[in-house]
Amino acid sequence: MTTPGASLEANLITLRDPGSAAAEAYRTLRTNILFSSLDRPLHTLLVTSSSPDEGKSLTLANLAVTMAQAEQRVLVVDCDLRRPSLHTIFGLPNERGLTSALLETTDGPLPVQRSGVPGLIVMTSGPLPPRPADLLGSRRMGVLIEQMRAGVDIVLFDTPPVVAATDASALAPRVDGVLLVLQAGHTRRDRAREARQLLEQVKANIVGVVLNGAKLERGYSY
Ligand SMILES: Nc1ncnc2c1ncn2[C@@H]1O[C@H](COP(=O)(O)OP(=O)(O)OP(=O)(O)O)[C@@H](O)[C@H]1O
Ligand SMILES: [Mg+2]
Protein backbone atom coordinates (compact mmCIF):
# COMPACT_ATOMS: atom_id res chain seq x y z
CA MET A 1 0.00 0.00 0.00
CA THR A 2 1.13 3.54 -0.75
CA THR A 3 0.40 6.75 1.09
CA PRO A 4 -1.91 9.15 -0.69
CA GLY A 5 -1.05 12.51 -2.22
CA ALA A 6 -2.13 15.84 -0.81
CA SER A 7 -4.69 16.80 -3.45
CA LEU A 8 -7.52 14.69 -2.06
CA GLU A 9 -9.41 17.42 -0.24
CA ALA A 10 -9.02 19.79 -3.16
CA ASN A 11 -10.62 17.23 -5.47
CA LEU A 12 -13.45 15.96 -3.31
CA ILE A 13 -16.19 18.22 -2.00
CA THR A 14 -17.35 15.54 0.46
CA LEU A 15 -13.99 15.88 2.24
CA ARG A 16 -13.43 19.59 1.72
CA ASP A 17 -16.88 20.71 2.81
CA PRO A 18 -18.99 17.96 4.40
CA GLY A 19 -21.62 20.53 5.40
CA SER A 20 -22.21 21.71 1.82
CA ALA A 21 -25.36 21.11 -0.18
CA ALA A 22 -23.31 18.95 -2.53
CA ALA A 23 -22.10 16.68 0.28
CA GLU A 24 -25.69 16.45 1.52
CA ALA A 25 -26.77 15.42 -1.99
CA TYR A 26 -24.20 12.62 -1.93
CA ARG A 27 -25.57 11.44 1.42
CA THR A 28 -29.06 11.35 -0.10
CA LEU A 29 -27.67 9.38 -3.03
CA ARG A 30 -26.00 6.92 -0.65
CA THR A 31 -29.28 6.43 1.23
CA ASN A 32 -31.23 5.95 -1.99
CA ILE A 33 -28.76 3.33 -3.19
CA LEU A 34 -28.98 1.56 0.15
CA PHE A 35 -32.77 1.41 -0.10
CA SER A 36 -32.92 0.72 -3.85
CA SER A 37 -32.84 -3.05 -3.38
CA LEU A 38 -33.51 -4.10 0.17
CA ASP A 39 -34.10 -7.77 -0.60
CA ARG A 40 -30.86 -8.08 -2.59
CA PRO A 41 -28.20 -5.80 -1.09
CA LEU A 42 -25.88 -4.13 -3.58
CA HIS A 43 -22.29 -5.28 -3.11
CA THR A 44 -21.05 -4.17 -6.52
CA LEU A 45 -22.08 -0.99 -8.29
CA LEU A 46 -20.92 0.26 -11.68
CA VAL A 47 -20.94 3.96 -12.54
CA THR A 48 -21.17 5.01 -16.17
CA SER A 49 -22.62 7.74 -18.41
CA SER A 50 -23.71 8.18 -21.98
CA SER A 51 -20.90 10.53 -23.06
CA PRO A 52 -17.43 11.60 -21.88
CA ASP A 53 -16.92 14.26 -19.22
CA GLU A 54 -20.24 13.91 -17.45
CA GLY A 55 -18.61 13.67 -14.04
CA LYS A 56 -18.66 9.88 -13.57
CA SER A 57 -15.33 9.60 -11.83
CA LEU A 58 -15.86 12.52 -9.44
CA THR A 59 -19.37 11.31 -8.63
CA LEU A 60 -18.03 7.83 -7.92
CA ALA A 61 -15.20 9.17 -5.75
CA ASN A 62 -17.50 11.42 -3.72
CA LEU A 63 -20.05 8.65 -3.31
CA ALA A 64 -17.27 6.33 -2.12
CA VAL A 65 -16.11 8.89 0.47
CA THR A 66 -19.69 9.35 1.66
CA MET A 67 -20.12 5.59 2.06
CA ALA A 68 -16.84 5.31 3.95
CA GLN A 69 -17.96 8.17 6.22
CA ALA A 70 -20.93 5.95 7.10
CA GLU A 71 -18.45 3.26 8.22
CA GLN A 72 -18.82 1.07 5.18
CA ARG A 73 -15.67 -0.60 3.86
CA VAL A 74 -15.46 0.61 0.27
CA LEU A 75 -13.25 -0.38 -2.67
CA VAL A 76 -13.21 1.77 -5.79
CA VAL A 77 -11.83 0.16 -8.97
CA ASP A 78 -10.81 2.10 -12.05
CA CYS A 79 -12.23 0.07 -14.95
CA ASP A 80 -11.86 3.02 -17.30
CA LEU A 81 -8.91 1.49 -19.12
CA ARG A 82 -9.05 4.23 -21.78
CA ARG A 83 -9.02 7.48 -19.79
CA PRO A 84 -8.43 6.36 -16.18
CA SER A 85 -8.62 9.08 -13.55
CA LEU A 86 -9.02 7.58 -10.08
CA HIS A 87 -5.23 7.67 -9.54
CA THR A 88 -5.31 11.40 -10.31
CA ILE A 89 -8.34 12.12 -8.13
CA PHE A 90 -6.81 10.21 -5.19
CA GLY A 91 -3.22 11.33 -5.92
CA LEU A 92 -1.84 7.81 -6.22
CA PRO A 93 0.80 6.12 -8.39
CA ASN A 94 -0.57 3.92 -11.18
CA GLU A 95 2.25 1.52 -12.01
CA ARG A 96 0.19 -1.37 -10.69
CA GLY A 97 -3.56 -1.74 -10.65
CA LEU A 98 -6.47 -3.62 -12.20
CA THR A 99 -4.64 -4.60 -15.40
CA SER A 100 -1.73 -5.99 -13.35
CA ALA A 101 -4.17 -8.24 -11.46
CA LEU A 102 -5.87 -9.23 -14.74
CA LEU A 103 -2.59 -10.31 -16.30
CA GLU A 104 -1.39 -12.29 -13.29
CA THR A 105 -2.31 -15.95 -13.33
CA THR A 106 -2.06 -16.66 -9.62
CA ASP A 107 -4.33 -15.29 -6.92
CA GLY A 108 -2.14 -12.98 -4.85
CA PRO A 109 -3.37 -10.05 -2.80
CA LEU A 110 -5.20 -7.45 -4.90
CA PRO A 111 -3.09 -4.42 -5.93
CA VAL A 112 -5.06 -1.92 -3.85
CA GLN A 113 -3.82 1.26 -2.21
CA ARG A 114 -4.94 3.28 0.79
CA SER A 115 -6.87 6.41 -0.14
CA GLY A 116 -6.22 8.50 2.96
CA VAL A 117 -9.91 8.19 3.84
CA PRO A 118 -10.46 5.56 6.55
CA GLY A 119 -12.32 2.56 5.16
CA LEU A 120 -11.80 3.53 1.53
CA ILE A 121 -9.26 1.69 -0.66
CA VAL A 122 -8.48 2.20 -4.33
CA MET A 123 -7.50 -0.06 -7.19
CA THR A 124 -6.15 2.18 -9.95
CA SER A 125 -6.29 1.11 -13.60
CA GLY A 126 -2.69 -0.03 -13.96
CA PRO A 127 -0.97 0.18 -17.40
CA LEU A 128 -3.45 0.61 -20.26
CA PRO A 129 -4.11 -2.54 -22.34
CA PRO A 130 -4.87 -2.76 -26.08
CA ARG A 131 -8.39 -4.26 -25.83
CA PRO A 132 -10.11 -3.16 -22.60
CA ALA A 133 -13.54 -4.70 -23.32
CA ASP A 134 -12.01 -8.17 -23.73
CA LEU A 135 -10.24 -7.87 -20.40
CA LEU A 136 -13.31 -6.59 -18.57
CA GLY A 137 -15.44 -9.38 -20.02
CA SER A 138 -12.87 -12.09 -19.28
CA ARG A 139 -13.23 -15.02 -16.90
CA ARG A 140 -10.28 -13.68 -14.95
CA MET A 141 -12.22 -10.47 -14.31
CA GLY A 142 -15.06 -12.56 -12.91
CA VAL A 143 -12.65 -14.21 -10.47
CA LEU A 144 -11.26 -10.81 -9.47
CA ILE A 145 -14.74 -9.37 -8.86
CA GLU A 146 -15.40 -12.22 -6.41
CA GLN A 147 -12.11 -11.51 -4.69
CA MET A 148 -12.86 -7.76 -4.55
CA ARG A 149 -16.29 -8.11 -3.02
CA ALA A 150 -15.07 -10.60 -0.42
CA GLY A 151 -12.97 -8.00 1.36
CA VAL A 152 -15.33 -5.00 1.60
CA ASP A 153 -18.98 -3.99 1.99
CA ILE A 154 -19.25 -2.39 -1.44
CA VAL A 155 -17.18 -2.20 -4.64
CA LEU A 156 -17.66 0.78 -6.98
CA PHE A 157 -16.47 0.40 -10.59
CA ASP A 158 -15.59 3.42 -12.72
CA THR A 159 -16.00 2.84 -16.47
CA PRO A 160 -15.83 4.66 -19.82
CA PRO A 161 -19.05 6.09 -21.30
CA VAL A 162 -21.40 3.34 -22.41
CA VAL A 163 -22.18 4.75 -25.86
CA ALA A 164 -18.52 5.19 -26.85
CA ALA A 165 -17.20 1.71 -26.04
CA THR A 166 -18.47 -1.73 -25.04
CA ASP A 167 -16.41 -1.78 -21.82
CA ALA A 168 -19.23 -0.77 -19.48
CA SER A 169 -21.63 -3.16 -21.22
CA ALA A 170 -19.15 -6.01 -20.76
CA LEU A 171 -19.01 -5.37 -17.04
CA ALA A 172 -22.61 -4.34 -16.36
CA PRO A 173 -24.13 -7.87 -16.28
CA ARG A 174 -21.52 -8.95 -13.72
CA VAL A 175 -22.36 -6.33 -11.09
CA ASP A 176 -25.38 -5.96 -8.81
CA GLY A 177 -26.35 -2.50 -10.03
CA VAL A 178 -25.56 0.30 -12.47
CA LEU A 179 -25.71 4.02 -11.78
CA LEU A 180 -26.05 6.27 -14.83
CA VAL A 181 -24.60 9.78 -14.53
CA LEU A 182 -26.09 12.55 -16.66
CA GLN A 183 -24.76 16.08 -16.91
CA ALA A 184 -27.48 18.71 -16.56
CA GLY A 185 -27.77 20.83 -19.68
CA HIS A 186 -25.18 18.72 -21.46
CA THR A 187 -26.43 15.16 -21.95
CA ARG A 188 -28.60 14.92 -25.02
CA ARG A 189 -31.89 13.17 -24.49
CA ASP A 190 -31.35 10.69 -27.33
CA ARG A 191 -27.89 9.86 -25.99
CA ALA A 192 -29.27 9.20 -22.53
CA ARG A 193 -31.95 6.97 -24.01
CA GLU A 194 -29.34 5.12 -26.10
CA ALA A 195 -27.23 4.55 -23.00
CA ARG A 196 -30.19 3.11 -21.15
CA GLN A 197 -31.06 0.84 -24.09
CA LEU A 198 -27.50 -0.46 -24.38
CA LEU A 199 -27.49 -1.30 -20.68
CA GLU A 200 -30.90 -2.93 -20.83
CA GLN A 201 -29.74 -5.06 -23.77
CA VAL A 202 -27.14 -6.70 -21.56
CA LYS A 203 -29.68 -7.07 -18.73
CA ALA A 204 -27.99 -4.54 -16.50
CA ASN A 205 -29.82 -3.65 -13.32
CA ILE A 206 -30.03 0.15 -13.57
CA VAL A 207 -30.61 1.27 -9.98
CA GLY A 208 -30.67 4.99 -10.62
CA VAL A 209 -29.70 8.09 -12.53
CA VAL A 210 -27.60 10.92 -11.11
CA LEU A 211 -28.18 14.35 -12.58
CA ASN A 212 -24.82 16.00 -12.13
CA GLY A 213 -23.93 19.66 -12.39
CA ALA A 214 -27.30 21.31 -11.87
CA LYS A 215 -25.59 24.54 -10.89
CA LEU A 216 -25.75 25.63 -7.27
CA GLU A 217 -23.78 28.40 -5.66
CA ARG A 218 -20.95 26.06 -4.71
CA GLY A 219 -20.76 23.72 -7.63
CA TYR A 220 -22.21 20.26 -7.57
CA SER A 221 -25.74 19.15 -6.87
CA TYR A 222 -28.41 16.75 -8.06
N1 LIG B 1 -20.99 18.95 -11.22
C2 LIG B 1 -19.93 19.45 -11.84
N3 LIG B 1 -19.82 20.78 -11.98
C4 LIG B 1 -18.76 21.31 -12.60
N5 LIG B 1 -17.75 20.58 -13.12
C6 LIG B 1 -17.81 19.27 -13.01
C7 LIG B 1 -18.89 18.61 -12.37
N8 LIG B 1 -18.68 17.27 -12.42
C9 LIG B 1 -17.49 17.13 -13.06
N10 LIG B 1 -16.98 18.30 -13.42
C11 LIG B 1 -15.72 18.52 -14.18
O12 LIG B 1 -15.86 17.83 -15.38
C13 LIG B 1 -14.64 17.17 -15.72
C14 LIG B 1 -14.88 15.69 -15.89
O15 LIG B 1 -15.19 15.09 -14.64
P16 LIG B 1 -14.96 13.55 -14.46
O17 LIG B 1 -13.56 13.18 -14.76
O18 LIG B 1 -15.53 13.14 -13.15
O19 LIG B 1 -15.93 13.05 -15.64
P20 LIG B 1 -15.97 11.64 -16.31
O21 LIG B 1 -17.37 11.45 -16.79
O22 LIG B 1 -15.40 10.62 -15.42
O23 LIG B 1 -15.02 11.84 -17.56
P24 LIG B 1 -14.43 10.69 -18.53
O25 LIG B 1 -15.48 10.49 -19.58
O26 LIG B 1 -13.17 11.27 -19.06
O27 LIG B 1 -14.21 9.48 -17.70
C28 LIG B 1 -13.67 17.47 -14.60
O29 LIG B 1 -12.80 18.48 -15.03
C30 LIG B 1 -14.53 17.94 -13.47
O31 LIG B 1 -13.86 18.90 -12.68
MG1 LIG C 1 -13.94 9.24 -15.73
Q: For position 122, what pLDDT does the model report? A: 98
Torsion of CA 194, 199, 203, 204, to 10 degrees: -140
For 111-150, b where at least 16 C-beta lie within 10 A, e where not — what string? bbbebbbebbbbbbbbeebeebbebbbeeebeebbeebbe
Strand partners, 222: none
Q: pLDDT tens across 122-134, in order?
A: 999 999 999 999 9
What pTM did the predictor assign? Answer: 0.92
Lowest mean pLDDT among 166-170, 179-183, 212-216: 212-216
Q: For position 14, what pLDDT does the model report? A: 96
Sheet order of strands, 44-49 included: 113-114, 120-123, 74-78, 154-158, 44-49, 177-183, 206-212
Q: Is the pLDDT of residue 137 over 60?
A: yes
Q: For position 214, what pLDDT does the model report? A: 57
CA of 52 to the centre of ligand 1 (A): 8
Point out the ligand nearest to the CA of residue 49. 1
Q: Is the CB of 159 under 6 A from ligand 1?
A: no
Q: Is the CB of 52 under 6 A from ligand 1?
A: yes
Q: Is the pLDDT of residue 216 over 60?
A: no
Point out the ligand nearest to the CA of residue 59. 1
Q: For position 39, what pLDDT does the model report? A: 75
Predicted confidence band of residue 213 (pLDDT cuts 50, 70, 90) = confident
Substitution candidate for ligand 1 out of 26, 49, 58, 59 with most atoms within 8 A of CB? 58
Give the separation between CA 173 and CA 162, rounded to whole angstroms: 13
C-alpha atoms less than 13 angstroms from C-alpha of 8 in its C-beta half-sphere: 19
Predicted confidence band of residue 106 (pLDDT cuts 50, 70, 90) = confident
CA of 212 to the centre of ligand 1 (A): 9
Predicted confidence band of residue 108 (pLDDT cuts 50, 70, 90) = confident
Q: pLDDT tens across 2-55, in order?
A: 444 457 999 999 999 999 999 999 999 999 998 887 777 899 999 999 999 999
Which residue lies with its CA nearest to atom 16 of ligand 1? 55
Q: For position 89, what pLDDT does the model report? A: 96
Which residue lies with its CA nearest to atom 15 of ligand 1? 55
CATH of 41-51+99-222, one of 2.130.10.10, 3.30.565.10, 3.30.1300.10, 3.40.50.300: 3.40.50.300
Q: Is the CB of 58 under 6 A from ligand 1?
A: yes
Work out which ligand 1 atom sits closest to the CA atom of 221. Answer: 1
Work out which ligand 1 atom sits closest to the CA atom of 59. Answer: 18
Q: For position 173, what pLDDT does the model report? A: 95
Q: For position 200, what pLDDT does the model report? A: 94
Query: Could you give the C-alpha distances from 202 to 75, 87, 152, 162, 190, in angstroms and in order?
Result: 24, 29, 26, 12, 19
Q: pLDDT tens across 62-96, in order?
A: 999 999 999 999 999 999 999 999 999 999 999 99
| Domains of the chain, residue spans | 41-51+99-222
Q: Is the pLDDT of residue 187 over 80?
A: no
Closest CA to 45 of 208, 201, 166, 184: 208
